[in-house]
Structure 1
Amino acid sequence: MAILTFVTGYIIPFILVLSLLVFVHEMGHYLVGRWCGIRSTAFSVGFGPELIGFTDKRGTRWKISAIPLGGYVKFFGDDDVASMPDAKSVSHMTEADKAHTLAGAKLWKRAATVAAGPIANFILAIAIFAVLFSVYGKVIADPVVAEVRPDSAAAEAGVQTGDRLVALDGSRIKTFDDVRRYVSVRPETPITVTVERNGQDIDLPMVPKRSEITDQFGNKVELGLIGIVTNEQLGNFRTETFSPLEAVAEGVKETGNIVTGTFRYIGNLVTGRMKADQLGGPVRVAQASGQMASLGFAAVVQLAAVLSVSIGLLNLMPVPVLDGGHLVFYAIEAIRGKPLGSGAQEIAFRIGLAMVLSLMVFATFNDISNLIG
């Protein structure tokens, strides 16, 4: 019974969410590649042995594979699923056939095809957020302080009950969530909080404290806190509704917030303001999928949007075997006027593969450590 609950509560939501995101990502590659005249020989959701599939009239094998941790589009002339060109095979092709390979296409067509995958993930996230905001609206609260926690950064800076936060480091804010989002990714980083008190604006320098909190599912999360709380009376909790166009704009904003928050987190890792044990892998994603599924459909869809942005950003990392690595190669080609040699590319791909596998092992180790802890 416990195994059945685990499978239906965690594994199935995880596979469904990840498969959707992988399908959209690979469809971006496929559609733009097809538009550019580049043929594809395989479109797979998942890696490893094929479970089920069919071949269309264009010769593309569409399939679902056994390991649901990614996917790929294999283009005509590719040596492997990471789009490493098969130099020997391409060298024996006619010029007409070479033009239909990824390696033989014009530089801008290759770049567009590679970039289309991450872009598709960003578009999906924007669309999901736009639909959620159109259907459910957005609960917001005014940035008015109802309580200042003792010994907090806000208390030390002199924040008082009733203060309205109006700016953070000079940037105007409108909601309490703006405060949370800004502060959470700036632990141990000096900031200036501007509050409105008795009709006057007062600048209060403070340093958010790095804190570990426990969410409703018992997961430990590390972030920056300044120690202020609002309530329904002072915060004026309400649901803001949006027209379709406003919802799209809000979706773009929300996606942008995730992107900037991710870069801030990476910066915090580099500077040591946050610990690397916050990095999660497939196990943590599966856990989060199950937890969100227990909250309802809207929560799962919102998680899918967040993960879609994450997948888009991950694939844009300048690491060979990832889309970002290919784009770096194309940038070098544009500067040099010719591509890197096949030997150099092969070495770079091997290094990139080792980096990606190392990251996956590290993230999985964190996942297991968190589960045991």
Structure 2
Amino acid sequence: MPAHLTLAKIAFLIFSYGIVTVLSIALVIIIHEFGHYLAARIFGIRITRFSLGFGKELWGKTDRLGTRWSVSRIPVGGYTEIFGDVDPDKPVIWDTENQCERHLTEDELKVAFCTKKVWQRMVVVMAGPAINIVLALSLLAFLYMLHGIQKMPPIINSIAIGKAADEAGFKLGDRLLKMDGRPVSDMEDIYDITSKDWINPHKYTVQRNNKILTIMMTAREIDFTDRKGRKVENRGRSGMLNGTVVFLKDIISINNVPTKDNLDFARELLKQKLGQPVDIEFNLTDESDVFRTIFPKELNHHLDNPEDEYYDRIFIRDTSTIEYKRLGPIEAFSKAASQIWTGLQETVGLFRVLYKGKTDEKPIGGVAVVAKYAGNSVKEGWPNVVVFVVILSIGIALINLLPIPLLDGGFLIFLIYEAFTGRRVSPRVQTYAFAIALVFMGGIMIIANLIDLIDFLND
């Protein structure tokens, strides 16, 4: 056991990571269920119970509308019990008070789920995933307003050899002042333009030492497959970066010396080249590139300490000096919406490539993976915890939209069938579908957690 990891510290880390994991999952699921609750209320559907947690009730209170608000023993998530989700041709429910079946009364039928129009039931089903997206959007926007977005100074510290920026004459250390006459304050401003407009040349005003230079550059059009197997087409690329860190496992060669899968050798070579220009080959896409960069000595003393948590990476610039820019409400929500839309597209794209088997990405993860990401977010600070909840909320929304019975997407398929045919899926078919889905999802959960266990034992 490393000396700096005392038993007390390990216990604290496990406790804090566990708390963040449980609270994050609980928040996302409770908000999801509250979406179903709100939509049902709007359409006059009775809610029998809204529970925070599962299992035996620890505390409960029934409101004037007949909803039982409960706090239950197992605190992970919760559920909404909607009244009257039964066969409308045989509207029978179990009477818990008299321990027998009985037909719904006329008044009960008016507030039953089964008697509502199909589009209203669709809205109730979709409201859970929808409010998860709203939660993610709101959290991300407030994060951009309160904490800000990371600013990437427009200083070039990495150049791809033989690419557009290199051939145009850019050098390490160049500060970009203007692009086409417009002031530049963030490297992202340049990436946004060059990725979309690679046809036209752009005029850059550059500060190099004490000189002001003008450089013309046309970005290169590229089509590539990213590291998760997703196809990206019609993008422009300049080949200049303001990088932060490189992981040793990603390095293919150093100054043309192969180092792939030999982290110790790569580390020793890099230690000899600290403070000097060095050519690093690694994969940003499905093809490798060679980048010239400088790794400052003062940022990489950890390479001599195997116990250091950053022993597996090397820094290009100081992450402690990263600046953040706060956004106004309109810009914050616009930026958050754009980020979430991109995230949704990338996640759907990842589902597609996982289905086709064209990625090395681990297809599924269990509770341990969620806890790992939660723990990493705790270490990095509260903004990363917020981002973790945002990602979790989007994930819950997308998973629930999968066309699998027991999930919202499965119920939606049944309702779409009803909308087109005018007939409801029979209770018998639904029962069989739910049973198959239960076995399928149970198997997936077991496999996911077994994969986590195997990874843990291998580590």
Classify the TM-score, shorter chain: 0.7 to 0.9
Sequence identity, in percent?
Answer: 30
Distance 1:361 1:256 in 2: 31
For each residue in 1:352-372, what CA deviation from the matched residue of structure 2 results, as whole angstroms up to 9, or x when unmatched? 222222222222222223322
Q: Which residue of 2 aligns with 1:340?
A: 425
Q: Is the aligned partner of 1:23 residue 2:27?
A: no
1:201 is aligned to 2:218: yes
Spell out the pairing of 1:179-198 with structure 2 (5 A cutoff): 198=215
Residue 83 (structure 2) aligned to one of 70, 76, 79 = 76
Whole-Å separation in 1 of the counterparts to 2:201 and 2:58: 59
Give the strand-richer structure, 1 or 2.
2
Residue matched to 1:88: 92
Label 1:210 to 1:113 Cα distance change in 2 as closer, same or farther (>3 A): closer
DSSP-derived class of the 2:61 partner: strand
Tell whether 2:332 aligns with 1:254: no
The answer (yes or no) to whether the contact 1:195–1:204 under 8 Å persists in 2 is no
Equivalent residue for 1:11, pick from 14, 18, 37 = 18
> The residue matched to 2:405 in structure 1 has which SS?
coil
Shift of 1:22: 1.2
How many residue pairs align between the two structures?
339
Cα distance, 1:86–1:68 mapped onto 2, change above 3 Å? farther
Pairwise CA RMSD of aligned residues? 3.9
Q: Give the structure-1-normalised TM-score.
A: 0.77
Name the TM-score, length of structure 2 as normaliser: 0.64
Tell me the secondary structure at the aligned position of residue 44 of structure 1.
Answer: strand
Which residues of structure 2 form unaligned runs of 5+? 1-6, 95-101, 180-185, 204-214, 229-245, 250-282, 294-315
Aligned ranges for residues 162-241 of structure 1 at < 5 Å?
162=170, 175=188, 198-205=215-222, 207=224, 210=227, 224=285, 227=289, 239-241=324-326
* Partner Cα distance (2:226, 2:347) in 1: 19
Q: 8 Å contact 1:140–1:239 — kept in the other structure? A: yes
Please point out which of 255, 263, 271 is paired with 2:348: 263
- Give SS of 2:92's match: helix
Q: Is 1:323 aligned with 2:408?
A: yes
**1:117–1:174 Cα change, 3 Å:** farther
**Larger helix proportion, structure 1 or 2?**
1
Structure 1 residue 126 displacement after superposition: 0.5
Q: Is the 8 A contact 2:368 2:449 kept in 1?
A: yes
Structure 1 residues 213, 52: closer, same or farther in 2, change over 3 A?
Answer: farther
The one-character-per-residue Cα deviations of 1:21-59 (angstroms, maximum 9, x if unpaired) are 111111111111011111111112333333433332322
Name the residue aligned to 2:371: 286
Q: Which moved more, 1:203-212 or 1:259-268?
A: 203-212
Question: Pick from 56, 59, 68: which aligns with 1:52?
Answer: 59
Please report how far the alpha carbon of residue 343 of structure 1 lies from its aligned counterpart in structure 2 after TM superposition. 0.9
User: Once the 2 structures are TM-superposed, how far is the Cα of residue 8 of structure 1 from its aligned partner?
Assistant: 2.3
Corresponding letter in the other structure for 1:107 = V
| 1:232-287 deviation digits (Å, cap 9, x = unpaired) | 79xxx764332111111111112112211211211221232223525222221122
Aligned to 2:143: 132
Which has the greater radius of gyration? 2
Give the match's secondary structure for 1:340: coil
Q: In the superposition, relative to structure 1, how do residues 84 and 354 fare at CA in structure 2: closer, same or farther (>3 Å)?
A: farther
SS state at 1:89 partner: strand
Shift in alpha-carbon separation, 1:281–1:143, aligned structure 2, 3 A: farther
Name the SS for the 1:294 alignment partner: helix
Q: Distance in 2 between matches of 1:146 and 1:251?
A: 28
Distance 1:145 1:193 in 2: 22
Bigger relative contact order, structure 1 or 2, given CA contacts below 8 A and separation 6+? Answer: 1
Contact 1:125 1:305 in 2 (8 A): yes
- Consecutive unaligned residues in structure 1, runs of 5 or more: 149-153, 167-172, 183-191, 216-221
Relative to structure 1, is the Cα distance of residues 121 and 194 closer, same or farther in structure 2, using a 3 angstrom cutoff? farther
